[in-house]
Amino acid sequence: MNAEAAALDADDPLAHHRAAFVGTDTPLVYFDGNSLGRPPRATAERLARFVTEEWGGRLIRGWDEAWMQLPFAIGDRIGALALGAASGQTVIGDSTTVLLYKLLRAALDAQTAADPRRVEIVVGRDDFPTDRYLVEGIAAERGARVVWVEVDTSRGVDADLLRDAVGPRTAVVLLSHVSYRSGFLADGAVLTAIAHDAGALVLWDLCHSAGSVPVALDDWGADLAVGCTYKYLNGGPGAPAFAYVATRHQGGLTQPVQGWMGAADVFSMGPVYRPAAGMRRFLSGTPPVLAMLAMQDTLDLLEDAGIAAVREKSVALTEFAVRVADGILAPLGVRLASPRDPAERGGHLTLSHPAMRRVTARLWEGDVIPDYRDPHGLRIGLSPLSTSFTETLVGLHAVADAVRAES
Amino acid sequence: MNAEAAALDADDPLAHHRAAFVGTDTPLVYFDGNSLGRPPRATAERLARFVTEEWGGRLIRGWDEAWMQLPFAIGDRIGALALGAASGQTVIGDSTTVLLYKLLRAALDAQTAADPRRVEIVVGRDDFPTDRYLVEGIAAERGARVVWVEVDTSRGVDADLLRDAVGPRTAVVLLSHVSYRSGFLADGAVLTAIAHDAGALVLWDLCHSAGSVPVALDDWGADLAVGCTYKYLNGGPGAPAFAYVATRHQGGLTQPVQGWMGAADVFSMGPVYRPAAGMRRFLSGTPPVLAMLAMQDTLDLLEDAGIAAVREKSVALTEFAVRVADGILAPLGVRLASPRDPAERGGHLTLSHPAMRRVTARLWEGDVIPDYRDPHGLRIGLSPLSTSFTETLVGLHAVADAVRAES
């Protein structure tokens, strides 16, 4: 397959972007860009220049001149590029967890106020822990009820499962667009429609799609979304998340963490909290300016490439990985724990084998870096702009060697 | 007073630290280090090196190797240096607003559960908007009641005011150690004791003290605290805040934003949320690693200087500013809207005059940067390590010129 990998790299119209990332000139194989994306080379200089020129040079004046608008400006860029969201609906805020909490609370409270029967939150039993833990906590504090959707760990919540879970008591549905474990890619339009037909609101978790899989929030008629910026958007460890609220909902939803940045007039510092119009009401504290700078370098690259081409390469990478796995890993007892159909798969896939925890440790020692997820899953994330086909092939051969050594 | 300022600078044992900050070699006068501290020169290089070597070089491995511990390691450094907090009680988390929300909810819920009569939150009517807005929102959602302490805007909540406000219905008292407007410095030990005598818990807002005024949380017997890192700790615009929870309370308090980082076993990703032991239960989402790096440069400097010497210089700076203001501003009708006694004053002071909004705009045009707070307040923040006596004198002369021009 070496010749095939080389040919795919030679034909890859996005291949030149790989050199824009730190470390792509080393032999290390990185299969975890879906957990923490590599930094673009431009980012070190961007941050250093910010410290000296903007923070150090403009000091507090930077807030009026640029920084107060930055959460909205970067939010709009992400919205236009990666979310299919018209401007004024996306903002950079707190961590993914805190933003999910705020939007889920806002949605649940509004739904229950409008119809006291609507006290159920629907969520997948296999969703990312934060999503499940949050729902559990919110249900307990608000007297709501969790409806758990039972999911095959190699898939995710699909139309049939969702249809059975929603009804006249459903307030909100929290859905992962791409499942963190299996890479299952949900049909955004269809699932949104199913939730709406039941009178529920949908909150999309876009952590594993933003920047690799096209999202069309406005076209789906989606209500709310939250997503991560340190995966395919390469914002750096712990970079703040984005939140989307459809324009039609912004006036009717209020979130519980009432801070000065969400108030109608930030600097009047008046006696009573009145939420701002528009997306600012979903902010709470001082925007994390320094932490939202790095992602702009990847936005530059993604805008240059276009999200359709990024998705095309992403599919080509996962298709190639599946073919290689079928050829050299299946004979060792490794099972694909992700959808086979690329239309149902995001930018990563999971390979299952009883020895995968030890295999992961062995691979790390050899500078091949996937991650491990229970049960027995080796997760292979193939960040489209920074991963080559040859890197993918080399890494999967290392997986085969490690499985042989650990079986 | 030029000679006096020069002599004070010549005798200042911390004077050499000023050169460690970006921009102190320019004529700009910076009176707003209590709002956004200047960056140390070392920070640009620290961030650039982090991007290339740690994030880019270690990639996802950085979490295991260092970053998971960073919120606790930096928290402990701040605790030891600036808060009088033994290790294991301070952590870097979300924004000030979000951390205040989480701790206030945790404290209120625990107090009400232990004694259903305790449904009151005591807060100053003149406290920072976020504090007031949060309390208002939490009271509404939890069916609690706000007891507003009426405060003279040139002071803050003191022992007499607090004694009148607390009682058998008080659940939590939220107190500013240094008032954001007046610079009033509360007596931490006395106020904590008053709250405790009434059976209440105290949550200290340390935003305007951490790094300039010594705090002794453990000695006071304080329960909870939150503080800002982008003011006197120079963490950069929007840097994440710290939270303190006294060891004796950590097992009994749970906060509502249940995310994966607060769970007992982060990577088991189990079916049910169980809060971690210790301070990690107060975290929610992925720690903001990139955003918590910069403050370490100021911690290096503060540890070298020692917080006692920092406070000594801070008092000398504000005493000098008061003397200059008495000499050249009082005759123009400018009034000191801060305590005269340095034992009751933090690192900033407020000068009041009906023209101060226009005065502020004029000063900014001339590269003298204070900030403005209603009503009629020019706030002069004197960050001890980066501000000189001469800079203070030059700035106050500019204030006098501007008041004359705008009156």
Same-domain status, B74 and B195: yes
Tell whether A290 is within 8 A of chain B (Cβ): yes
Same-domain status, A387 and A313: yes
Count A/B contacts: CB-CB distance under 8 Å: 268
Whether the pLDDT of residue A269 is over 80: the answer is no
Q: What is the mean pLDDT of residues A390-399?
A: 98
| A343-379: pLDDT as tens digits | 999 999 999 999 999 999 999 999 999 999 988 999 9
Contacting residues of B for A239, CB less than 8 Å apart: 288, 290
How many Cα atoms are found within 13 Å in the side-chain-facing hemisphere of A258? 26
Whether the pLDDT of residue B390 is over 80: the answer is yes
Q: What is the mean pLDDT of residues A155-180?
A: 98
Same-domain status, A386 and A310: yes
Same-domain status, A258 and A332: no
| B102-155: pLDDT as tens digits | 999 999 999 999 999 999 999 999 999 999 999 999 999 999 999 999 999 899
Q: How far from each other are the two terminal CA atoms of chain B, in whole angstroms?
A: 24
pLDDT band at residue A280, thresholds of 50, 70 and 90? very high
| A202-234: pLDDT as tens digits | 999 999 999 999 999 999 999 999 999 999 999
Tokens at A208, concatenated: 């594993």
Same-domain status, A235 and A326: no
Q: What is the mean pLDDT of residues B88-102?
A: 98
A133 to chain B, closest Cα gap in Å: 5
Burial class of residue A193, CB neighbours in 10 A (0-12, 13-18, 19+): middle
Same-domain status, A144 and A7: no
The answer to whether position B56 is within a domain reads no
The answer to whether position B153 is within a domain reads yes
Note whether A240 and A298 are within 8 A (CB): no
Residue ending a domain, choose from B300, B324, B355: B300
Q: Do A288 and B95 touch (CB under 8 A)?
A: yes
Note whether A259 and B133 are within 8 A (CB): yes
Same-domain status, B7 and B73: no
| B198-247: pLDDT as tens digits | 999 999 999 999 999 999 999 999 999 999 999 999 999 999 999 999 99
pLDDT at residue B375, as a whole number:
87
Distance CA B403, CA B332 (A): 7
Note whether A379 and A359 are within 8 A (CB): no
Parent domain of A377? 2-41+306-406
The answer to whether position B60 is within a domain reads no
pLDDT at residue A174, as a whole number:
98
Note whether B138 and B104 are within 8 A (CB): yes
| B314-359: pLDDT as tens digits | 999 999 999 999 999 999 999 999 999 999 999 999 999 999 999 9
Residue ending a domain, choose from A300, A330, A363: A300
Same-domain status, A194 and A105: yes
The residues of B that are catalytic are 128, 205, 230-231, 379
- The pLDDT > 90 percentage for chain A reads 97
Number of domains into which chain B is organized: 2
**Domain containing residue B313: CATH number:** 3.90.1150.10
Q: Do A48 and B44 touch (CB under 8 A)?
A: yes
| A22-61: pLDDT as tens digits | 999 999 999 999 999 999 999 999 999 999 999 999 999 9
Q: Between the CA atoms of A150, A153, A158 and A164, what dihedral angle is there, to the nearest 10 degrees?
A: -10
Whether the pLDDT of residue B269 is over 80: the answer is no
pLDDT band at residue A270, thresholds of 50, 70 and 90? confident
Q: What is the mean pLDDT of residues B248-259?
A: 97
pLDDT band at residue A77, thresholds of 50, 70 and 90? very high
pLDDT band at residue A268, thresholds of 50, 70 and 90? confident
Positive or negative, the CA dihedral A59, A60, A63, A65 is: negative
pLDDT at residue B321, as a whole number:
98
The answer to whether position A49 is within a domain reads no
Same-domain status, B261 and B327: no
The answer to whether position A273 is within a domain reads yes
The answer to whether position A361 is within a domain reads yes
Q: Which amino acid is at A9?
A: D
pLDDT band at residue B268, thresholds of 50, 70 and 90? confident
Q: Do A130 and B260 touch (CB under 8 A)?
A: yes
Name the nearest CA neighbour of B372 among B399, B405, B341, B345.
B399
Contacting residues of B for A236, CB less than 8 Å apart: 51, 55, 289-290
The answer to whether position B53 is within a domain reads no
Same-domain status, B127 and B208: yes
The answer to whether position B54 is within a domain reads no
Q: Do A60 and B22 touch (CB under 8 A)?
A: no
Residue ending a domain, choose from A252, A277, A300: A300
Contacting residues of A for B141, CB less than 8 Å apart: 256
Determine which of A30, A74, A269 to mutate to test the interface with B (most B C-beta atoms within 10 Å): A269
pLDDT at residue B348, as a whole number:
98
Q: Do A52 and B271 touch (CB under 8 A)?
A: no
Whether the pLDDT of residue B264 is over 80: the answer is yes
Whether the pLDDT of residue B405 is over 80: the answer is yes
Same-domain status, B345 and B402: yes
**Domain containing residue B116: CATH number:** 3.40.640.10
Whether the pLDDT of residue B304 is over 80: the answer is yes
Same-domain status, B312 and B295: no
pLDDT band at residue B32, thresholds of 50, 70 and 90? very high
Q: What mean pLDDT value characterizes chain A?
A: 97
Name the nearest CA neighbour of A319 among A392, A394, A210.
A392
